[in-house]
Structure 1
Amino acid sequence: MNNDFRLKSVNYLLNGLTVGVVVGALVSAFRWIIEQQLSFVERLYILAHQHHLLLLFILGANIIIGLVVAVLIKENPNIKGSGIPQVKGQLLGKIDYPYWSALWRKFVSGVLSIGSGLFLGREGPSIQIGSTAAQGIAAFRNVDDELRRVIIAAGAAAGLSAAFNAPIASSMFVLEEIYHRFPLKVWPTVLGAAAVSNFVSTVAFGQQPALHIVYQDAFPLGQYWHLIILGCLLGLGGLVYQQSILYSGTLFKPFQKIPNYLWVLVPLVLILPIGYFMPITLGGGNQLILAISKNVPSISILALYIVVRLVFATLSYGSGAPGGFFLPILAMGALLGATYGQIMVQLGLLPAPLVINLIIFSMAAYFACITKSVFTAVLLITEMVGTVTELMPLAITALIAYAVVDLFNGQPIYDQLLNNIIKKRG
């Protein structure tokens, strides 16, 4: 009996290791191409200040990109959006689709959409790429349905781990938000896949955390009253963000006569003035987070960033373009935390160096209240920022924001998006 138990445990771990190697390589390539493309696009916008004809080149390129992405979405609608609701639906047995058709289309369309500067994150597509690659491994091995779901869950965790270099948070996200169960056969497979995938991405990108933010001091206990106010404000802001994502499709009412797979052309055309005047805001938001943490802008600039990010992130997601809002949530949380901090500094109620701490807390709290995944939020920011000394203020701010959303009956965003997909499919 004990030998049988040990063999099963080793088998679960080996499944995870196999998935981790494959997914880690795929998602690392996905991440690298997006980073290179975004860097190139930002340089083009900067050069356009001197050579205005470049704007016509960018416009033409974006239209071509939009048409290619539209064709891919038309061929397989399962690649629309972040992909996390689709993976969740698969694990719940409510949705299923062929892995190869979704895998390569999600990879290509995700690179084109996110790399062109739309306000979308790489994490959702990375999760779906990971889960579909794992689905292929399960099909190749011809496993039973139960083990197939475990392997798909491991692929999802491996995808997120490679995208953010956060293996513990990635495992917790899949178990807390997607799989909802912690049986023996799941956690070693999921954690093994996430750890190996993280190793592969670390070889490719180095050991520095994905959002390495340097702060001077730990947040003083005497300033903890800020966490209560900030948590409440972030909770209210989280409700607004939830609704903006859920009803993002309403922004396209003027285009109802156009097939919805062509809606992706709208944000790709409208992105030009944003890229021209504010290239730092392009993409999911990781560059913006790092920029404001090094040099916190004025309140007016932060307010402008908040409005632009909220409106255009909603437009980008509502278009159905393949990309997530995981990283855009963190960017919005960082902006809100920085704004609150700067206001308190102006009022003489907060030392200026502590604004950086509030940026870190706000990312965790904003993510926690929108996704309703507090454990994942705290672990994610801890791993992405590279700090373990601020766990208590992280948890306090996240719990308060979570409680505010709960008070107003806010539901987990991915559950609501999955329900919308199921309703549309009858």
Structure 2
Amino acid sequence: MRRYAVLTGEGPFRIRLLFQGILTGVAAGLAVVCYRLLLGFAGAFSFRALSGSAGISLPGLVLLWTAGALLIGLLMDWEPMAKAGGIPQVKGEILGQLSMDWLRVMTAKFLGGGLAIALGFSLGRAAPAVQIGAAAGKCMAALQGKGKIEERLFLSSGASAGLSAAFNAPLGGVVFALEEVHKSFSPLILLSAMMASLAADFVSKCFFGLSPVFPFTVPNTIPLSHYGHLMVLGLLCGAGGALFCRVILDAQKFYDRLPVPPRFRMLLPAAAALCIGSLLPAILGGGHEMLEQLAHGGTSPAGIFLLFSGKMLFTALCFGSGAPGGIFLPMLAVGGALGAFYGTAAAGLFGTDPSLAVNFLVVGMAGFFAAVVHAPITGIVLITEMTGSFSHLLSVSAVVITAHVTAELLGARPIYDSLLLRILRRSKSFCSAGKVLLEGTVCPGSSLDGIAVRDAPLPKGCLLVSISRAAEEILPRGSTVLQAGDRVIALADGSRARRIQEKMLGLTGVCSPEPEQRLRE
């Protein structure tokens, strides 16, 4: 009966889920706040050291940077699940194909992430915050003795809370958990993730204040007569996002071909950071300072393009090494630079208002995110929350949809799905056993609409356990006929969960962002 309550979300379990979400959100929020504070100190040290204001000689810098890079490599050897961003690892664990030791991951993420930012690596805090939040959720589940199915609810709540605390964006965290991590709408996940995200946002704002992450001053909104420019920018963001994904994946292949052990790979971005520190300091770190510099204006189109290309290449060099840090914030910085470049160029070529360049920067961030991650709704909600203004909603939506469609037409794969596939192919020892809870809604005209359960083409290793129709729970029988609007819950074998999820997305009528054949390729 307890397992059934978990699967259907009925009875006292739904009420208990509210309080569990709040506790998970508080734990994840506190962990991410500590991580943000650590990265703040590390970034300040990096700027002082590389600018020369810290009083460290060049030989001293070389020694410190070499020691730091080697220490990061040792930490990643000690806990490989802490490598890179962490979002693919969280997705893999929720699907039952990866398993992390939450304490080791948090330890390696804090120490390695702080060192990476102190060395000036172009890595962000959002993806690590998602993994740290998920680790905090797993810790809470372990302390309460929860089973695997409930544990994954804690993981989802913690991941949502992590992104919320990283960017002061509670709605963005919830939508990210639904659209990107699970790729489906689930009332249970929505309930727990919403409570966790709000709790984490409250904790974060107690430390960092109520201001949005990017409080850009936007004097005017983009007039309707300029929406042709937004379509062009959407095309550029779609193409740029596809290029960004390609560069990130090619950088990982480049490191794989190097005849050196993985623990020494961080020496290459560390050396690059030493050189870049005095030449192009704006591209160091996550990208927050770069976006603020672009928002203030005064940079020529050539200078903006240099920041755009330099940030993209340096991010790929840092991320490909396996250093603990994400591409979430650097990706937004690259997209913002592309938007600012177009806005500044349009002012010179077409006579648009130069003050609108900051508007193009904002919509460029959202469009680039949608093209890289293939999560358009998350992009719209997240950028709206991060800038603290709804005045961009229509223009952001126009660019996001155009960029998303363009990236799809160019054959670009969602970056986090591609990274997860790479991890699964290279880290088979991480696969875990157990069952995974999958949910979906039967859409009109789909392969399951009007089909009896006994005739439903369900994938092998998948068991239909519950049907919710008009707020009524139905126990599936062979003669039960599925109807449009039914919310179906299935248990899947953990070793096959990813492919079963893709198959279920197709059967229920939701177009999978990554068809199974392309996944094999």
Tell me the equivalent position of 2:202.
199
Q: Displacement of 1:40 after TM fit?
A: 2.2
Matches of 2:50 and 2:77 in 1, distance apart? 30
- How far the C-alpha of 1:251 sits from its partner, in A, is 3.2
- Determine helix, strand or coil for the equivalent of 1:125: helix
Mapped pair 1:182 → 2:185: yes
SS at match of 2:57: helix
Aligned-pair distance for 1:296?
A: 4.0
Q: What residue is the counterpart of 2:76 in the other structure?
A: 73
Percent identity (aligned):
32
Q: CA deviation at 1:253?
A: 5.8
Matches within 5 A, 1:9-408: 9-47=14-52, 54-252=57-255, 256-408=258-410
In structure 1, distance between residues paired with 2:51 and 2:421: 42
More displaced, 392-401 or 178-187?
Answer: 178-187
How many residues align? The count is 420
Deviation at 1:182, TM superposition (A): 2.8
- Gap change, CA 1:280 and 1:408, over 3 Å in 2: closer
> Match of 1:224, SS?
helix
Question: Does the 8 Å CA contact 1:248/1:314 hold for their aligned counterparts?
Answer: yes
Q: Is the 8 A contact 2:30 2:200 kept in 1?
A: yes
| Deviation for aligned residue 1:420 | 0.9
Q: Which protein is bigger by CA-based radius of gyration?
A: 2
What are the Cα deviations for residues 240-292 of structure 1, in whole angstroms up to 9, with x where unaligned? 001111121233366x2211122012101220121122223210101110111
Alignment deviations for residues 107-148 of structure 1 (CA, whole Å, 9 cap, x no partner): 211111123210001111111111111111111111121110
| The structure with more strand, counted as a fraction of residues | 2
Aligned partner of 2:447 in structure 1 is none
Letter in 2 for 1:198: D
Question: C-alpha displacement at 1:295, in angstroms?
Answer: 2.1
* Other structure's SS at 1:60 match: helix
Q: 1:298 to 1:183 in 2, by over 3 A?
A: same
1:162-200 CA distance string (max 9 Å, x none): 111101001110111002233332111111111111111
> What secondary structure does 1:185 align onto?
helix
Give the aligned CA root-mean-square deviation in angstroms: 1.6
Q: Match of 1:184, as an amino acid? A: P
Name which structure has the greater RCO, CA cutoff 8 Å, separation 6+: 1
| Equivalent-residue separation in structure 2 for 1:73 and 1:39 (angstroms) | 24
Task: Give 1:421's aligned amino acid.
Answer: I
Alpha-carbon contact 2:266-2:323 (below 8 Å) kept: yes
Q: 1:267 to 1:305 in 2, by over 3 A?
A: same
Q: Could you tell which deviates more after superposition, 80-89 or 173-182?
A: 173-182
Question: Once the 2 structures are TM-superposed, how far is the Cα of residue 373 of structure 1 from its aligned partner?
Answer: 0.3
Between 200-209 and 6-15, the greater mean CA deviation after superposition: 6-15
Q: CA deviation at 1:80?
A: 0.7
In the alignment, the residues of structure 1 paired with residue 46 and residue 100 of structure 2 have an alpha-carbon distance, to the nearest angstrom, of 33
My pick for the range that moved more, 363-372 or 260-269, is 260-269
Checking the alignment, whether the CA contact within 8 Å between 1:19 and 1:154 is kept in structure 2 is: yes
**CA–CA separation in structure 1 for the residues paired with 2:314 and 2:27:** 34
Separation in 2 of the partners of 1:95 and 1:288?
Answer: 35
Q: Which amino acid aligns with 1:189?
A: S
Q: Deviations over 1:312-350 (max 9, x none)?
A: 111001100000000011000011111111111111331
Q: 3-state SS of the aligned residue for 1:241?
A: helix
Aligned partner of 2:22: which letter? L
Task: Confirm or deny: 8 A CA contact 1:296 1:338 kept in the other structure.
Answer: no
In structure 2, which of residues 389, 412, 415 is the aligned counterpart of residue 413 of structure 1?
Answer: 415
Contact 1:251/1:315 (<8 A) preserved = no
C-alpha spacing 1:361/1:296, structure 2 compared with 1 (3 Å): farther
1:5, distance to aligned residue in structure 2 (A): 4.4
Rate the CA distance shift 1:194–1:413 in 2: closer, same or farther, 3 A. same
**Match for 1:375: what amino acid?**
I
Unpaired runs of at least 5, structure 2: 1-8, 429-521
Uncovered stretches (5+) of structure 1, i.e. residues with no partner: none
**Against the structure 1 CA distance between its residues 15 and 181, is the aligned structure 2 distance closer, same or farther, given a 3 Å change threshold?**
farther
